A and B are shown apart, each in its own frame.
Chain A
């Protein structure tokens, strides 16, 4: 083939890839532009700090913000320690046999289970069997369960990036297995583990289906006063404002405002993940990485 036609193919390939990239960015930009332009007008101090008023046609979304924060925190408290522990066991202790591989495959598959199925499971396990009732605790636990597969998988990947030589070096000095993991594996794996966990949780924060039957309420004038209260949540509120309200057209700005707040919240979480990773890595560099 001539150099000229090679160059054309090279150019075509490059342009095709660039087009893919531009298309993805374009979608993102359009979505953001739409939500920000339509939602920014309603954002005010009142909108962020007041409950909905007048049949949810006025007022703010304060209870929904608080509700979403609470369930997200509960989800994190459940998913992060459980997920990290499970990943450490799988990667450091479990023998690499058929059972381990089956468990790992099952975990990967769990992340593909539709969120509505997690919602039903949450009703059976937390609302009914554990007697949490439809509550902030039941919903938080359901979201936590949903996040677990992501947390476990990300944590295992992070553990795999720690060189074998660190473990062997510690063991050869007479460290016990746990000492080598605690002192010479976890410090280098935790940034990656946490980043994965936060990304998983920020995904969960925006979910509607798992909280639909487990504790989210249509309307509550007050913020929840216990773990066993029902709660309002941003994604569910957005769903109501877009489809269930008696005057959908009238409350459209509120729906956009809710969407904007939800996106900002999720982005803040993602940003926190990035900053945390950066910070811990820099600390790693100070130690020598």
Chain B
């Protein structure tokens, strides 16, 4: 019962200057699925998901070969504005990075830069996004307090709410729980499972159990290559590749 393919990477090679970071990546991201990317540090998994919303362009000397498509159209084409891609493909970072503004303003910001001026609409959207991110009840009394006074886990859910407010189609999570405690991690994971009903999700994680818990598909990256990709249950119960098995059983990495 595979869903339709939302994003597709074909023969992707990626370089910083002369160093090749990714090598011949072919990977499909299915709609309303959670796709987990696992692999040891430095294997290129974070680099890979930053390609999916063209965040790699912020780094000088980055060079890409191959194609990445969103609903069939090439997102890397010269005519495509990266700003448009980032509105469709949102991102939540490893370290919660709320802006040093109020909780309300953090969420309103994304709407304002997209040209929304309607105050009522913005207010409704802030509430809606906070509810979707399961943060509303914790912050409803202090929407105008600084976002930096929230705990790490709350900050990360605020960043998720901020991302939801601009209604992306795909959400990229770059190790979203790396700096969170187990309880906050659990909340974010539950949230991801809830969100996949509406959104397409890609999550990079160091945590094997997390990949097993939340994802439908898993890709194992090693030294810039996609070693194995498949349904999560297959990857974790009967991996085809020896290196995958070694990694998920904790023999290295």
Contact = CB atoms under 8 A, between A and B. Distances in A.
Interface of A: 95-96, 163, 165-176, 179, 183-184, 188, 284, 286-289
A287 B109 contact: no
A173 B53 contact: no
A178 to B, nearest CB: 10
Contacts of A95: 60
Given A183-B109, A288-B148, A288-B149, A172 B100 contact: no
Interface stretch (B66-74, B159-167, B181-189, B207-215): B159-167
B113 A288 contact: no
Interface in B55-111: 55, 58, 60, 83-84, 86-87, 90-91, 93, 95, 97-102, 105, 109-110
Interface in B136-171: 146-149, 159, 162-163, 166
B163 A287 contact: no
Contacts of A174: 83-84, 86-87, 110, 113-114, 166
B97 A168 contact: yes
A176 B113 CA distance: 8
A172 B91 contact: yes
A70 to B, nearest CB: 38
B101 A288 contact: yes
Interface centre among B105, B109, B162 (most CB of A within 10 A): B109
A165 B96 CA distance: 9
Most buried by A among B58, B102, B113, B163: B113
Contact of B102 (A173, A284, A287): A287
Contacts of A176: 83, 113
Binding site of A, secondary structure by majority: helix, strand, loop or mixed? helix
Contact of A171 (B58, B102, B114, B159): B58
User: Which 4 residue pairs across A and B have the least CB separation, nearest first?
Assistant: A288-B146, A174-B87, A165-B97, A173-B110
Nearest to A97: B60
Contacts of A188: 100
A84 B52 CA distance: 34
Contact of A96 (B53, B60, B147): B60
A214 to B, nearest CB: 41
Contact of B113 (A166, A168, A179, A284): A179
B83 A175 contact: yes
B146 A287 contact: yes
B102 A288 contact: yes
A174 B110 CA distance: 7
Given A183-B109, A183-B113, A171 B86 contact: yes
B109 A288 contact: no
A256 B98 CA distance: 54
B49 to A, nearest CB: 11
Contact of B90 (A172, A286, A289): A172
Q: Which residue, B83, B98, B149, B163, has most C-beta atoms of chain A within 10 A?
A: B83
Which of B99, B114, B147, B163 has the most chain A CB atoms inside 10 A of its CB?
A: B99
Given A168-B97, A176-B113, A287-B101, 14 more contacts: A96-B60, A165-B97, A172-B53, A172-B90, A173-B87, A173-B110, A173-B162, A173-B166, A174-B86, A174-B166, A184-B109, A286-B146, A287-B146, A288-B147
Given A288-B146, A288-B147, A173 B109 contact: yes
7 contacts: A166-B99, A166-B100, A169-B99, A172-B93, A173-B109, A288-B100, A289-B100
Contacts of B148: 288-289
Of listed A95, A169, A173, A284, residue having the most chain B CB within 10 A: A173
Contacts of A167: 58
B101 A175 contact: no
A171 B55 contact: yes
A184 B99 contact: yes
A173 B147 contact: no
A91 B114 CA distance: 25
A167 B159 CA distance: 14
Contacts of B147: 288
A169 B159 contact: yes
A287 B100 contact: yes
A174 B167 CA distance: 11
B93 A175 contact: no
Contacts of B87: 173-174
Nearest to A288: B146
B52 to A, nearest CB: 11
Contact of B100 (A171, A175, A284): A284
B93 A165 contact: yes
Nearest to A165: B97
Contacts of B97: 163, 165-166, 168-169
Nearest to A177: B83
A288 B166 CA distance: 23
Nearest to B90: A172
Nearest to B54: A171
